[in-house]
């Protein structure tokens, strides 16, 4: 991938500190906000910028994913998510994210073959699973086994070799789904089911999760399409916490499997990928529409840590376009599985309606996000809540590897090393100091 400097330096920002002015270049995005380049700020003015949570900081230049949070737009490589969800399948989207444009038929066929060649895991990896407790969260197994792949696939660890980078990428994407399915089987005490390479990516995942030694799982095209759409919608989301974690881990030169394991860890948190499990558990706790006001009051209280899971987003200040697609699929899946009048779906729709008309949620621009409806669909397909974040992780391996590759190939790539605003002690002479704050 060749990097062009998208930024055009036709404007500068002037920052004056103690009568000294520093001129900072402004770069324009192809779409979206411009950025002020502060690279030389420290050398010229001896100050750092301060931005906890990176709310106003662009950490990199990227050509992969575009989000317009005010309009509720999400595009991979320039293609609208709605169109990709309708017309593509997951592996085509993976190929798009990694190579920059949609593949032709022959390219896609070849890529699908390449991915399916990597679905098997080294036999020794079974020993890893046997080391986990049966009640371990499947995300714990994902983190551990993903990192462990670096000990098995040592011929794809050289980050400076383009061929090895591509091989590692294909291995990560193909094996993540096998690891996820094995984690599920292990947690329910069933034998592992081998992948079947004549199935599509999503069909194969359903097969590995729901077939068993006594019975072959009959794959419904409606559920396979729903599964595939979930994979497409979660495939990338520009510089979110887990992707930034992958980039930061990779910036030190760490191997790709280790970087993706770091991404899986970051995704696990309830403010990020763990929100799909938390959203369904929250709906189950609310139980009935009669309790909605009680929980909304909790969500609005500054004293209560409770938040409405599956609501709100750092970037979207409008309806998350992924949630819109999933709301529609949710109804189709429930109808197909014969779950008529599902009380949890009814509760979710009531909660959404009430929250969207509530002053607090209107003023703070809090809308349902991707995690609000995905759990209801995954539960209807047959997954327990612990698997929801695993499924998110399998899908996000596409975005993580695309973003990791972009970072490695970026000529200005440096180790990520933020600075800080130090507010600790000034120099102390060595010895015990009586301090009111010393509560040990
Ligand atoms: N329920 C109640 N209040 C909320 C919520 C919520 N779900 N989300 C944000 N707020 C309030 C928040 O308390 C804050 O209020 P104030 O201005 O009075 O301090 C205001 O809205 C702005 O929120 P923030 O926490 O400063 O926003 P953020 O950009 O730091 O956090 C978020 C974004 C997604 C972490 C947050 O909205 C949240 O915790 N939502 C629930 C968890 C969730 O659904 N996460 C999935 C995100 S989408 C998938 C993914 O990225 O993995």
User: Per residue in 141-181, pLDDT tens?
Assistant: 999 999 999 999 999 999 999 999 999 999 999 999 999 99
| Ligand 1 near 196 CB (within 6 A) | no
Residue 338's pLDDT is what? 85
Number of the ligand 1 atom closest to the C-alpha atom of 307: 1
CA distance 390 to 392: 5
Count of residues for the chain? 440
Mean pLDDT of the residues in the chain: 94
pLDDT greater than 70 at residue 317: yes
366 lines ligand 1 (CB under 6 A): yes
Averaged pLDDT for residues 318-325: 94
> What is the rounded distance in angstroms from the CA atom of residue 333 to the CA atom of residue 232?
17
| Residue among 246, 271, 312 whose CB has most ligand 1 atoms within 8 A, to mutate | 312
Cβ–ligand 1 contact at 5 (below 6 Å): no
On the question of pLDDT at 54 being above 50, the answer is yes
**pLDDT for the residue 437:** 67
The backbone torsions φ and ψ at residue 362, rounded to the nearest 5 degrees and listed phi first, read -70, -50
Q: Is the dihedral of CA 279, 284, 289, 294 positive or negative?
A: negative
For 288-300, write each residue's pLDDT tens digit.
999 999 999 999 9
Contacts of 410 (CB under 8 A, 6+ apart): 3, 60, 61
Q: Does residue 308's CB lie within 6 angstroms of at least one atom of ligand 1?
A: yes
Of the candidates 405, 368, 362, 437, the residue with the CA atom closest to the CA atom of residue 94: 405
End-to-end CA distance of the chain: 54
Is residue 2 scored above 50 in pLDDT? no
- Residue nearest atom 15 of ligand 1, based on CA coordinates: 364
- Predicted local distance difference test score (pLDDT) of residue 434: 62
- By DSSP bridging, strand 73-76 and strand 65-68 are antiparallel
Structure confidence by residue, pLDDT tens digits, 227-257: 999 999 999 999 999 999 999 999 999 999 9
Q: CA 18 → CA 21, 23, 96, 180, 332, distances in Å?
A: 8, 14, 49, 56, 63
pLDDT of 433 higher than 70: no
Q: How far is the CA of 305 from the centre of ligand 1 (A)?
A: 11
Atom of ligand 1 nearest to the CA of 364: 21
The answer to whether 163 is a known catalytic residue is: no
Confidence of residue 306 (pLDDT cuts 50, 70, 90): very high
């Amino acid at each position: 991938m060749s990097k062009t400097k998208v930024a055009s330096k036709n404007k500068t920002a002037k920052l004056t500190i103690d009568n000294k002015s520093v001129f900072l270049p402004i770069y324009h995005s192809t779409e979206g906000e411009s950025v002020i380049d502060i690279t030389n700020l420290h050398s010229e003015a001896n100050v750092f910028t301060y931005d906890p949570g990176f709310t106003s900081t662009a950490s990199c230049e990227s050509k992969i994913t575009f989000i317009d949070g005010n309009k509720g737009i999400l595009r991979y490589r320039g293609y609208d998510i709605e169109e990709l969800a309708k017309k593509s399948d997951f592996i085509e989207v993976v190929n798009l994210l990694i190579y920059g444009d949609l593949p032709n038929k022959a390219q896609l066929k070849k890529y699908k073959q390449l991915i399916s060649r990597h679905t098997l895991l080294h036999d020794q990896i079974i020993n890893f699973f046997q080391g986990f407790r049966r009640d371990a969260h499947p995300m714990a197994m994902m983190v551990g086994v993903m990192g462990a792949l670096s000990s098995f696939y040592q011929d794809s660890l050289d980050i400076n070799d383009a061929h090895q980078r591509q091989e590692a990428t294909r291995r990560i994407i193909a094996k993540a789904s096998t690891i996820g399915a094995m984690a599920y089987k292990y947690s329910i005490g069933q034998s592992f089911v081998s992948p079947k390479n004549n199935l599509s990516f999503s069909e194969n995942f359903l097969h590995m999760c729901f077939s068993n030694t006594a019975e072959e799982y009959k794959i419904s095209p409606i559920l396979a399409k729903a599964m595939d759409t979930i994979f497409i919608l979660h495939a990338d989301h520009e510089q979110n916490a887990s992707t930034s974690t992958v980039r930061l881990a990779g910036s030190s030169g760490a191997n790709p499997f280790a970087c993706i394991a770091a991404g899986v860890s970051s995704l696990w948190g309830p403010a990020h990928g763990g929100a799909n499990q938390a959203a369904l558990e929250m709906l189950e706790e609310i139980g009935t529409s009669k309790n909605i006001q009680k929980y909304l009051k909790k969500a609005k209280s500054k004293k209560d840590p409770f938040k409405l899971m599956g609501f709100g987003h750092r970037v979207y200040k409008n309806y998350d376009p992924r949630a819109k697609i999933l709301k529609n699929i949710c109804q189709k899946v429930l109808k197909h599985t014969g779950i008529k009048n599902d009380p949890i779906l009814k509760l979710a729709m009531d909660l959404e309606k009430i929250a969207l008309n509530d002053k607090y949620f209107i003023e703070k621009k809090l809308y349902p996000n991707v995690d609000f409806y995905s759990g209801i669909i995954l539960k209807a397909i047959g997954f327990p809540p612990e698997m929801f974040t695993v499924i998110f992780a399998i899908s996000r391996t596409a975005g993580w590897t695309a973003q990791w590759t972009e970072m490695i190939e970026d000529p200005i790539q440096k180790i990520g090393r933020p600075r800080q605003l130090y507010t600790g002690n000034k120099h102390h002479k060595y010895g015990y100091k009586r301090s009111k704050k010393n509560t040990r």
